[in-house]
Amino acid sequence: MARPAPPVTPMCPPNSNSNTTHPLSLLPKCTSLRELKQLQAFAIKTHLHSDLSVLTKFINFCSLNPTTTSMQHAHHLFDQIPQPDIVLFNTMARGYARTDTPLRAFTLFTQILFSGLFPDDYTFPSLLKACASCKALEEGRQLHCLAIKLGLSENVYVCPTLINMYTACNEMDCARRVFDKIWEPCVVTYNAMITGYARGSRPNEALSLFRELQARNLKPTDVTMLSVLSSCALLGALDLGKWMHEYVKKNGFNRFVKVDTALIDMYAKCGSLDDAVCVFENMAVRDTQAWSAMIMAYAIHGHGLKAVSLFKEMRKAGTEPDEITFLGLLYACSHTGLVEEGFEYFYGMRDKYGVIPGIKHYGCMVDLLGRAGRLEEAYEFIVGLPIRPTPILWRTLLSACGSHGNVELGKRVIEQIFELDDSHGGDYIILSNLCARAGRWEDVNYVRKLMNERGVVKIPGCSSVEVNNVVHEFFSGDGVHSVSTKLHQALDELVKELKLVGYVPNTSLVFHADMEDEEKEVTLRYHSEKLAITFGLLNTPPGTTIRVVKNLRVCGDCHSAAKLISLIFDRQIILRDVQRFHHFKDGKCSCEDYW
């Protein structure tokens, strides 16, 4: 039996006062759509329901903190106005832009255009935000054309939202063309462009624009700093990140919790966990995002137990976790083999905290089982999900099959992947290497034939190292077929030294049946990680930590070599790959070979 609704205290005054009280005088006391409808009923009773000022205020109320239901009611009220002006439409568009159905604003916009009204500089920002939120590029282009026609394309309110729309739709070149046409860009416009570059993983362009902003003597905002710190994190540029930290403190941006949180994330991704901890411990206020950032920092550096301990401390402080918090916890459990703890947090996030698992949480669980060698359990976990599995989930399991040498399951998994997406070169490489390791060369040739037929290209390995505030990039294979340079000669000598202390190139990782062992060894020698580490050895003082960032998973042979290099040269090497950090010191790695 349904529970009866609680009694609602009437907002309307007694009938004796109904003729003297205006509905708008009661609007400030209104706290919900239900109460607004009571007020609307009172307006009807007092014959004010057709009053333009009353309807306008009601629509403003519905659009202030919009929901799908409140905007439906606002739309109903809007339709009752015979000749709505552009200001009222702008209110509706602003409300729709902040709901789950932003493009409904365009239905109204069509009516406005047919009625003969001209949009103004407040119309386009809301409509462009709606396009950005649902990546409606075509509608955004049409709005851009209309803004040009009306002479508003370079307006101070329109330009930033145009740039934001294009960046949200991953059209960075279009966004840049809009930006470059602005004669005197303001800090808001710079922020839109810098944020777009940061979100689009183009950190060098973001930092270049930040320097341009400074050259124009424009004062950055906290939004600027968030994107600049994110760019430093993407590059893994610790020295630049430290300079930005000093800039943050000097200009008072550390009073913003979000900026401090971005600093934690930046230091963690640049390989300096101690600096991340220092920022966290000195925060006067810590919100959920700050705690989550620190938990994730411990996780990606392989300190699973510290991440778990920090979560318990977070709960004692009375801070509620969110989906990012649990993502960090599950990641920590996955990379340190805490299988049972991982399941406890996974099931507890919904049951104890009301946090609904998302695709990334499911991916962590597949990774957790895969790393532990429980591959069939991982397969059944994916099959039993309440949502349709994505290629990323299956790729996580495929990678685990590669690590554990399970060819048969790997072939079953890749069939699932190809049904969803057959354009990702990494999938073919993992299966090809898996088959090669098992000596199944016919399968290897078949996979490579598929790659050629489908035009799939392997992503080259790329590693970068920061020296004297300059980030240097190296690609795998550089030097194999080129004239020897000082760097290559140094790497050749380095490999000779490594062999004297027991290094044996793992040529089984080069999967070419027709290649001699000597050729395989040369191929391994010029992997991007080794080139970057050697460059660091040549160009930094003895004892300096070398920090390397790689775009793919670290190669097993390079992992072994890095351990020995850290021992021979008494150097700490911090290598960030696509999955985690590896801290090499005294011949050991922080991952303890569980990666």
Residue 536 lies inside a defined structural domain of this protein: yes
Same domain, 567 and 582: yes
Task: Give per-residue pLDDT as tens, 134-155.
Answer: 899 999 999 999 999 999 888 8
Count of the separate structural domains present in the chain: 2
Task: Give per-residue pLDDT as tens, 304-361.
Answer: 999 999 999 999 999 999 999 999 999 999 988 899 999 999 999 999 999 999 999 9
What gap in Å lies between CA 134 and CA 219, rounded to an integer? Answer: 31
Burial of 561 (0-12, 13-18, 19+ CB in 10 A): buried
Q: How far apart are the first and last CA of the chain?
A: 54
Same domain, 553 and 584: yes
Residues 6+ apart with CB under 8 A from 278: none
pLDDT higher at 29 or 299: 299
pLDDT (mean) for 559-567: 94
The structure tokens listed for 120 are: 């103004």
What gap in Å lies between CA 557 and CA 510, rounded to an integer? Answer: 10
Same domain, 496 and 539: yes
Residues 6+ apart with CB under 8 A from 276: 263, 264, 265, 267, 268, 294, 297
Residues spanned by the domain of 501: 463-589
What gap in Å lies between CA 71 and CA 61, rounded to an integer? Answer: 10
Kind plus residue range of the DSSP H or E element containing 467? strand 462-467
pLDDT (mean) for 366-385: 95
Same domain, 411 and 470: no
Of 458, 480, 502, the last residue of a domain is: 458
Of 437, 458, 479, the last residue of a domain is: 458
Residue 448 lies inside a defined structural domain of this protein: yes
Residue 125 lies inside a defined structural domain of this protein: no
Same domain, 448 and 510: no
Residue 339 lies inside a defined structural domain of this protein: no
> For position 20, what pLDDT does the model report?
52
Could you tell me if 426 and 395 are in contact, meaning their C-beta atoms sit under 8 angstroms apart?
yes
Same domain, 583 and 471: yes
Under DSSP, the state recorded for 144 is H
The structure tokens listed for 408 are: 């048969």
Same domain, 408 and 475: no
Same domain, 414 and 394: yes
Mean pLDDT lowest among 117-126, 287-296, 382-391: 117-126
DSSP string, 271-311: T-HHHHHHHHHT-S---HHHHHHHHHHHHHTT-HHHHHHHH
Same domain, 470 and 442: no
pLDDT (mean) for 121-137: 90
Of 432, 458, 484, the last residue of a domain is: 458
Same domain, 429 and 520: no
The structure tokens listed for 5 are: 């609704």
The structure tokens listed for 483 are: 């004239």
Under DSSP, the state recorded for 583 is E
pLDDT band at 508 (very low <50, low <70, confident <90, very high): low
Ranked by mean pLDDT, the top range of 4-13, 131-140, 451-460, 503-512 is: 131-140
Residue 401 lies inside a defined structural domain of this protein: yes
The structure tokens listed for 421 are: 């997406």
Residue 428 lies inside a defined structural domain of this protein: yes
What gap in Å lies between CA 273 and CA 261, rounded to an integer? Answer: 13
pTM: 0.82
pLDDT higher at 139 or 54: 139
Same domain, 581 and 503: yes
Residue 506 lies inside a defined structural domain of this protein: yes
> For position 82, what pLDDT does the model report?
83
Same domain, 516 and 425: no
Residue 521 lies inside a defined structural domain of this protein: yes
> For position 515, what pLDDT does the model report?
59
Residues 6+ apart with CB under 8 A from 366: 378, 381, 382, 393, 396, 397, 400
Could you tell me if 572 and 583 are in contact, meaning their C-beta atoms sit under 8 angstroms apart?
yes
